[in-house]
Each structure stands twice: as C-alpha cells, then as structure tokens.
Amino acid sequence: MSVQGEIRKITTLTLTEMKQRKEKISMLTAYDFSMAKIIDAAGMDVILVGDSASNVMAGHETTLPITLDQMIYHASSVVRAVKRALVVVDLPFGSYQGNSKEALNSAIRIMKETGAHAVKLEGGREVKEAIERILSAGVPVMGHLGLTPQSIYKFGTYVVRAREEMEALRLREDAKLLESLGCFSIVLEKIPATLAAEVSQSLKIPTIGIGAGNGTDGQVLVLHDMLGINHEFNPRFLRRYMMLFDEIKKATENYIKDVKSMDFPNENEQY
C-alpha cells in the first residue's frame, strides 16, 4: 500500500528492485476470477496464468493442447480480479514457435484481449527471434528454461534437467542471452539448486524457481498443487499448504447426506 492507501501495483521494474534489495519474489498460478481475487488479496507479487491450465483446469495430460483462445479466456478472468499483482500469461504451445510474426501476433492478442501485463514463453536461443519481435512491440517477456513442459515429447520425461555439464552450459548461455535480449525475468524449472543459484547470481534480472532450490530470486508453484486440489501429484519440490481435495470431498459428502436426509434446507434456509 502507498501512503494514501492506494494500492501500489507490481511492475517489471518492481521485480528488478526486489532483486537488488534481496527481497524474494512470490509467484503462483491462477486461471480464474475467484482464485485470482484471493491470492491477489493475500499479497502475491506475480500471478502466472500458466499453460498448466491445460492440466489442472482441463484435465489434459500435457500442456500442449491448450489454445491461445483458451489462454485468453483464463487470463481475462484473472485480470478482472487483480488489483496489485503483475499478471503474466503463458504463450501456449504452437502460438510462437512457427515464426516471429506469429509470436508477435499471439503476444499482441494476449495483451489486447486480456489486459495482462506480460507474456512468458519457453526456450532459449531457439526462440530468440520471437522474443526480439515481441519485445520490439513493447511487450515484456518472461523466459522459461530448464524443464520446459511444452517440449515433453522431445525429452520424453519430466526428470530434473541440466544435470550434465553440456546441458548446464547451454542453460547458462541461454540465461545470459535472454537477459541480453531484454527479458525482465526467467523461470528456472527443475534444475539442480547449485546451478540455479549460480545462474541467478550471474544475472541482473530476477529468476523465479520451481524445483530449483532456494538460491533463485523468487519461487513459483502451481496453485492447485500447493492447495492439494491436485492431490495425486507429489514431486519432491512441492510443499502443500492445504489438502483441499479432502476438505472439498468431505464438505460435498456432508451436503449429499443433508440433501438425502432432508436436513437441508431447514426452516431458516427457505422463504
């Protein structure tokens, strides 16, 4: 909050300043109005409308099927709820890899049709032209290195990335490249903690880790994982803050019981 009680919005510049003063950045995903309203009210710095919506909202096995139109629907719902956080939206698979003009058109659609503040896309040198073109239109870009779920069929597995020196070297170079292109931040997903810390220290822009240890400049989790809604996903890096699957199931069972027994509605719950 500012002195006048006005909400001070988080910008890409705020994140750089947070890194400079060693204040960690909090980021969570959200895909709908109601959840976004809660996590924004809690003081989240960055809300990511992740393409993980493909998994947790639509039930797909991978992030590949979600479309640009669907991402725009999720993102515009989130933006309507948010007063303070920086809202970043994933460019979905197939919306930026073809050529840089397609990438720019996809980013522009997201910015125009949702009111979001930035886009995120996966990859390093292979998406250089796409990043340059999007940035040239004034759209802030967050990078994403390490485990890049849109390439799951190339790697065939979700195991930790960049354990081998060759891949670690490539990641270091890609991180430097993304910074030099003008990305405002980079997500580092599922890489060794020592490598993530080293890359974070070598950059001026903030890194946000997921499964990348404590040496990054911020942390991100998928909302449905940390709330225990998605209760079957149990990677080592995940800390659960609730087990909402059990809570919601219990509440639902109680409601069914009350309906069947005619306990609900009672006299005070009718007109």
Element (H, E) at 26: strand 25-29
Residue 45 vs 90, nearer CB to ligand KIV: 90
Residue 81 vs 210, nearer CB to ligand KIV: 210
Contacts of ligand KIV in 233-262 (CB under 6 A): none
Q: Kindly state whether residue 45 participates in binding ligand KIV, applying the rule CB under 6 A.
A: no
Residue 48 vs 141, nearer CB to ligand KIV: 48
Residue from 40, 45, 51, 217 touching ligand KIV (CB under 6 A): that is 51
Q: Kindly state whether residue 90 participates in binding ligand KIV, applying the rule CB under 6 A.
A: yes
Residue 65 vs 136, nearer CB to ligand KIV: 65
Strand ranges for 104-225 from DSSP E: 118-120, 141-146, 185-189, 207-210, 218-221
Contacts of ligand KIV in 11-30 (CB under 6 A): 29
CA distances from 236 to 74, 190, 195, 240 (A): 28, 10, 18, 11
Q: Kindly state whether residue 116 participates in binding ligand KIV, applying the rule CB under 6 A.
A: no
Q: Which of 113, 189, 198, 247 is catalytic?
A: 189
Residue 71 vs 195, nearer CB to ligand KIV: 71
Residue closest to ligand KIV (Cβ): 50
Nearest to 75 by CA among 109, 121, 122, 41: 109
Contacts of ligand KIV in 192-231 (CB under 6 A): 210, 220, 222
Facing residues of 120 across strands?
90, 142
* Exposure letters 243-260 (e unless 16+ CB within 10 A, then b): ebeeeeeeeeeeeeeeee
Q: Kindly state whether residue 35 participates in binding ligand KIV, applying the rule CB under 6 A.
A: no
Tokens of 201: 């220290």
Rounded to whole angstroms, the Cα distance separating 132 from 37 reads: 33
Q: Kindly state whether residue 39 participates in binding ligand KIV, applying the rule CB under 6 A.
A: no
Residue 139 vs 143, nearer CB to ligand KIV: 143
Task: Mark the segment that binds ligand KIV (CB under 6 A) among 31-39, 45-53, 225-233, 243-251.
Answer: 45-53
Judged by CB under 6 A, how many residues of this single chain contact ligand KIV?
A: 11
Catalytic (active site) residue 6: no
Query: 191 with 212: CB under 8 angstroms?
Result: yes
Q: Kindly state whether residue 89 participates in binding ligand KIV, applying the rule CB under 6 A.
A: no
Residues in the chain: 271
In the bound complex, what is the minimum distance in angstroms from residue 40's beta carbon to ligand KIV?
17
Query: 128 with 178: CB under 8 angstroms?
Result: no
Phi, psi for residue 127 in degrees, rounded to 5: -115, 20
Q: Helix and strand tally (H, E) in the chain?
A: 11, 8
Contact set with ligand KIV (CB under 6 A): 29, 48, 50-52, 90, 187, 189, 210, 220, 222
> Would you name the residues annotated as active-site residues?
189
